[in-house]
Structure 1
Amino acid sequence: MAKRRLRSFQRQIASKSDRKLKARKERKNIWQGLGMFGMVGWSVTVPTLLCISLGVWIDTHVQSKYSWTLMLLFIGVALGCFNAWYWIAKESESD
């Protein structure tokens, strides 16, 4: 009878410790996910803003019937999305 209670108690302790370890691991993954979210945001934002700045500079210095700011905005967003895709793919391979 005492051995059964001991085994039951050991199983309870093992299951609780497994749950706590799993919770710690998931908490770490949440922070990693938030970090990845920020990295993806910046990897899209930086090329977009740089291209917009270049477009505004070109529009103020060169007379053209086309809007360089608008064209470079689309190019910047496309480069940023490609950059974000690259980083996500790289992080997925490392996991």
Structure 2
Amino acid sequence: MSMPPEEQDPLVKGVRLRADRHRGWLRDGEPSVARHLAQIGVLGWIIVVPMLLGAFLGRWLDGLHGSGVFWTAPLLMIGLALGCWSGWKWMQES
């Protein structure tokens, strides 16, 4: 089944999403400061944990092969990229 043309229009989808969010805001009210701080904390951990895992894995591989920071630096950057991507996806869902 195909969707009606107005359902495929991104502008219509955006307006409906905005209206749904506004109705939710009217129903639930403004989130508290504690909720905002909790979201910031979760976002920080979503970014930091993959970086730490990359650093620890890199140090272990470097120690195993005696290669200085050959593995640590790229795995740290991969962890950063993965953490930022995960944080972005999490914020889009919120």
TM-score after normalising by structure 2: 0.63
* Pair member with larger Rg: 1
Give the aligned partner of residue 20 of structure 2.
none
Question: Using a 3 Å threshold, how does the CA distance of structure 1 residues 53 and 65 change in structure 2: closer, same or farther?
Answer: closer
Number of residue equivalences: 68
Question: Using a 3 Å threshold, how does the CA distance of structure 1 residues 54 and 43 change in structure 2: closer, same or farther?
Answer: same
> Could you list the runs of 4 or more consecutive aligned residues of structure 1 that deviate by over 6 angstroms after TM superposition?
none
Identity among equivalent positions (%) equals 39
Question: Using a 3 Å threshold, how does the CA distance of structure 1 residues 65 and 45 change in structure 2: closer, same or farther?
Answer: closer
Could you tell me which amino acid in structure 1 is paired with residue 48 of structure 2? T
CA-atom RMSD in angstroms: 2.2
Written as runs of structure 1 = structure 2, the 5 A alignment for 1:1-95 is 25-26=29-30, 28-64=31-67, 67-91=70-94
Q: Which has the higher helix share?
A: 1
Question: What is the CA-CA distance between 1:65 and the residue it aligns to?
Answer: 7.3
Residues 6-55 of structure 1 show CA distances to partners (whole Å, capped at 9, x for unaligned) of: xxxxxxxxxxxxxxxxxxx44x3322211110111000011000010000
Unaligned runs of 5+ in 1: 1-24
Unaligned runs of 5+ in 2: 1-28
TM-score after normalising by structure 1: 0.62
